[in-house]
Structure 1
Amino acid sequence: MVELLSQLTAWHWLILGVVLLGIELLTGSTYLLWPAASALFVGILLFIAPGLGWEMQMLLFFLLSITTLVLGRTHLQRLVKGGEPSDLNDPGLAMIGRQVRAVADFTGIEGRVQVGDTQWSARLSGGTAEAGDLLRVEAVEGATLIVGR
């Protein structure tokens, strides 16, 4: 095994990096991106310093893989996701801030509002509301809109 490892060249590392990148493209998880980049880095480094022993190559590969994985997952994940939850699959969240019209007088804090062509149950966050009043959606709790002036 040691004989096999001692024969590692820059081309072996470059091929490993390309194979890992190919698998990463198929999975899209970003977990293999970092070892792939590390393997490519070690391969390029071996063109610059061809006398690097296999022990140092392996150590460098593992340290780079772990470091880039930790840094990539903590820092780049925030940039990719934007740091804010998406309302793409939650139409209720997309209604926050939208103006709606009261369908009938609210009894206490409970009532109904018109949103587009649909009526929703609504609860007032404060004050009173009568039929026709314009209200603003402040939050969504299940199928009930929390509205206010």
Structure 2
Amino acid sequence: MIQRMFLFLGGAFLLSVLTACKQSQPVGDVAEFQASKASSSQKIESSGLAREFVARGNEPFWTIKSNGATLTWITPENLQGSQLKVDKVISVDNVKYVGVDGDSDFTLLIIQTPCVDTMSGETFDFASVWTHGRERNVGCAATGG
């Protein structure tokens, strides 16, 4: 019974990541653990730390471009983007950028699992989870600048 409940919850989480829906809830260790377990068995190669990613999501619209120790957070209200300094990059099965923006912690988690944009239908090799303060959004990501 408990195993079925965990399978259901894991499947529901994976579905939310793949459909790029907005999630307005705090992210904790449990959600990050589930996201890492939802990733495919393939590894992001060790050079993943140096790779650049572009993550994006819908409703609200957002784009984040990674470039080394800097993330550029772009929204319709700020098309020039805000530069965010990354304090730490963690790469095992996934790539996770961690930092602080004023009083808000932020993370960008790149998960190597197929993702389909809910508006365009475009497919991507990666899913993404962007957390800024208590706001959490999921979307897709691709390599490149």
TM-score between both structures, scaled by the size of structure 1: 0.21
Higher relative contact order (CA 8 A, sep 6+): 2
TM-score between both structures, scaled by the size of structure 2: 0.21
Question: Between Structure 1 and Structure 2, whose CA radius of gyration is higher?
Answer: 1
Structure in which a larger fraction of residues adopt helix = 1
